[in-house]
Structure 1
Amino acid sequence: MNDQLLVQKLNEHNFSFTLPQHPIPPLGLNVHPLVVLVGWIKALPKHLDKYKKFYLDNGFCTITLTPSPMCHFFPHRMRELALSLVEFLNKESDKTSRPIIFQVFSGNMVYQSEIFKLLNDNKDKYEKLINLIKGQIFDSCPSMISERVAYTSLTATSKSKIQKTVLKYICAGYSKIVDVEKANNDFWNRLSKCPIPTPQLYIYSIDDAVTSYLDVERGIEIMKSQNINVRQLCFDQSLHVNHFSVHPMRYMKNVYQFWEFCLKTNNTTSPTLSTSNKFKFLNRLLVPKL
C-alpha cells in the first residue's frame, strides 16, 4: 500500500497518520518506528502537535487520536474504537513490521485498558502485534474513575462558568447512567492483566489537581506485580498533561532513554542514554517551541 492510500485508510478510522521526513532513528532499526499518541479527554489535534512534532523529528511515524468524551459514557463505543485501531495495526503489521510505542494521556488510559482486554481475549490472533509493541508511556495516568475525576477532567481547560455548570450536571447524570464503582473496579482489573510485557514509563507530578499521584503509583505497582519493567519520572510541581511544556529537557531526556532501551536492537543494558556518535542525532535536536 502506498503512503497516500495508507493515510486515506487511517483517516477513515478517525485516526491521523503522518509519515516522518527524518531518517530512521539510529537504533539499529530497518524501518521507521511508529508511535500511537492517545490524547487526553477533550484534547484537540493542536494540543498534540508538540508531541507529534517531537516524534516526527526523531524519525517516527505517528498516529494520533482522542476518543470522544461520549465514549466514557457509552463503554461499547470505547471498545469499538479500540477494536478499529487494533485491527488496523494488526493488518498493517503483515505489510510492514514497525516497532510500536504507545503514549497515552490522562483519562484515556481507559481506552488503553480496553486495548489490553482486547489483546488478552485474542492473544493468538494478535500475537505478532503484541510482539511489535516495544514500550508504553503513560503521561498523567492512570487515575480512578469517579464523578469527581470526570468533572475535573472535563473542566480542566474550561473558563466558562456556564459550561462548568452544565458539565457538573452531565457528570452527575454520568453517575446515574454508569455504575461508576463497577466501571472503576473493571478498569483496574484490566490493568492488572496487561498483555504487553515490554517496558513502561510513567510521567506524573505530586501536585496534579486532576490525577492523584497515588493513583499513578497504584498503577505502577500493579504493573510491577506483573514483572513489567517500569520507569518513573515524577515532578514536584507540574500541571496535569503539561509536564512537557514545564520541564522540556527532563521530559525529552527520559523519553530518549526510554526509546533507546525499548527500541535498540539486541539491547541488554540498563536504560541510560547512549553517548555514542551514532546516537547524537537525537541529542542535536532543539527543544521544540511549546
Structure 2
Amino acid sequence: MSSRKGLILCLKCPKSSLFLNHRGLRTSACALTTHGRGHDGPRVSHHPIGLPRFTHRPIDKNLSITHHRHHNEADSGHAREPRPLVLLFAWLFAKPSHLKKYCDFYLEHGFDVLTARLTVSELLRPKKVQSVMTNVLDLCHEGPRQEQPLLCHAFSVGGYMYGELLTNLARDMEKYPEFGRRMFGKIFDSPIDYYGVPKGVARAITNDKEKSQRIEKSVHWYLEKFRPITHQYIRASDNVHANEMKTPGLFLYSLNDPLCNPEHIETLAKTWRLNGIEAETAFWKRAPHVTSFKMYPDEYKSHVIDFIWRTGIPGHRMPRIQPPVQEEPEEDFREQQILKMALA
C-alpha cells in the first residue's frame, strides 16, 4: 500500500507482522527474542555439573559472550595458551535454549563462546547486520580476547552474517590486522546463500504453506525493488566464496533440507579445494533445517571435533576420535540428488 512516507509492504502471520518500506524496516514480532539487558545488565554466573566455571554476559539484544573464569590459566593453575573463542552465528528465531547445547559442547572442550543473533527485520537491513558484525569484531579485539584464536560456527543465515563480517574486515583491515591470522576455521551448518534468503525468511516466520509463499514473493519483490540492498547481499556472498583468508571450512547439511542447496555446497567446497583450501562436507539423508546435531549428535560432534583438530587451533580440549566414514559426495552426487527429490 502507499502512503506519504513511501511504499510500505506489510507481511502478516499469526505470530508477527513485518513492515518494509523504502526508508527502512521495523518489526513488531512477539516471537522475536533478545539476549539479556545490554551493557548495564547483570553478569550471571553458571556452574553446570561437569563443566568448568564460566560467566555469561549479555552485550546487547544481538550479542552475548560466555567465558571461563580463569581465562588464561589451566585448571592446574599453570600458565597456558589463551583459550580459543568460537563465534556462534545463529539461525533466525534461535532462542538461547536452542543454542545451549552448542554452547555447552564448546565450553566443555575449552572454548569461550560469542553468540550473535538477528531478527527478521535486521536480516533484511544489511547495514544493521554490518553494525552487529562490527561489534563482533570489536569484541574479538577487546582486552585479553585480542590474543584468542578464533573459530566460526554459523547456522543457516549465519553464513550470510559471516559474509558481512568479511565485508567489514575488508573495509577496516588496519583496525583488525590480526584477525585473519587468528581465524583457524569456519563451520557452516545448513548454510543459506543470498538466493535462499526469501525462502529462508518465509519458512522462519511460518510453517503455513500459503502464507509462506506470500511472504517469499514479498521478499523477492523487496530485493528486486531495492537493488542497492540486494547488491550488499551479493557482495557478502562473494566474500564467503572468495575466502581470501584461505580459512579451512566444514559444511554440514541434510539432503532433504528444503532451504539449502547440496549441489551448491559441494561445488563451493570443491572450488576451495582446487584453490588449495581445505574444505570438507558431511551430510545426512533426513534432517529438517539446522537439526542435524539434534538428530545425529554423535556423528555431528565427531565431524566437528575431527575438523577442529585438523585446523590446528591451539588451546582446545577436544578428544582425539575416529571420524565417521561417509561416501564421497563428488562420486555419487547425482544419486544423492535423485534421493533428495524422492524424499521431497
What is the TM-score normalised by the length of structure 2?
0.65
- Alignment partners' CA distance in 1, 2:94 and 2:198: 14
- Which segment drifts farther, 224-233 or 254-263? 224-233
Q: Which moved more, 1:257-266 or 1:77-86?
A: 257-266
Distance of aligned partners of 1:29 and 1:214 in 2 relative to their CA distance in 1, 3 Å threshold? farther
| Alignment-derived partner of residue 120 in structure 1 | 170
Matches of 2:140 and 2:86, distance apart in 1: 11
1:19 and 2:19 are equivalent in the alignment: no
Name the structure 2 match of 1:198: 247
Deviations 1:110-150 (A, max 9, x none): 1111111222233343221221111111111143425xx42
Name stretches of at least 5 consecutive residues in structure 1 with no aligned partner.
267-272, 277-290
Q: Tell me, what secondary structure is at the counterpart of 2:280?
A: strand
Maintained 8 Å contact 2:149/2:313? no
- Which of the two has higher C-alpha Rg? 2
Q: CA deviation at 1:171?
A: 2.2
2:141 corresponds to which of 87, 90, 94: 90
Match of 2:97 among 38, 46, 49: 46
Does the CA contact (< 8 Å) of 1:41 and 1:154 recur in 2?
no
Deviation at 1:52, TM superposition (A): 0.9
Which string of whole-angstrom CA distances, capped at 9 and with x for unpartnered residues, describes residues 235-258 of structure 1?
222221111011111100111111
Q: Contact (CA 8 Å) 1:106, 1:140: kept in 2 or not? A: yes
Between stretches 224-233 and 241-250, larger displacement belongs to 224-233
The yes-or-no answer on 1:258 pairing with 2:307 is: yes
Alpha-carbon distance change, 58 to 192 in structure 1, aligned in 2, over 3 angstroms: same
Partner of 2:339: none
Give yes or no for the alignment of 1:186 onto 2:235.
Answer: yes
SS in 2 for 1:35: strand
Match of 2:112 in 1: 61
**Distance between the aligned counterparts of 1:61 and 1:97, measured in 2?**
13
Q: Residue 197 of structure 1: CA displacement?
A: 2.5
The aligned counterpart of 2:222 is 174
Aligned AA for 2:199? Y
Contact persistence 1:99–1:263 (CA under 8 A) = no
Indicate conservation of the 8 Å contact 2:224/2:230, yes or no.
Answer: no
RCO comparison, higher one (Cα < 8 Å, 6+): 1
Q: C-alpha displacement at 1:166, in angstroms?
A: 6.8
Aligned Cα RMSD in Å? 3.4
Match of 1:109 among 159, 165, 189: 159
Higher strand share: 2
1:129 aligns with 2:179: yes
Distance 1:116 1:172, change over 3 A: closer
Question: Hey, which of these two has a bigger chunk of helix by percent?
Answer: 1
**Structure 2 residue aligned with 1:217, among 254, 258, 266?**
266
Q: CA deviation at 1:211?
A: 0.7
Per-residue CA distance 1:21-69 (angstroms, 9 max, x = gap): 79969xx962221111000122222221111111112121111111222
Q: Does 1:274 align with 2:320?
A: yes
| Aligned counterpart, 2:206 | 158
Q: CA deviation at 1:158?
A: 3.0
Q: TM-score, normalised by structure 1?
A: 0.76
Q: Which is worse superposed, 57-66 or 168-177?
A: 168-177
Instruction: Report the equivalent of 1:239.
Output: 288
Change in 2 beyond 3 A, CA 1:168/1:62: same
Count of aligned positions: 262
Identity %: 20
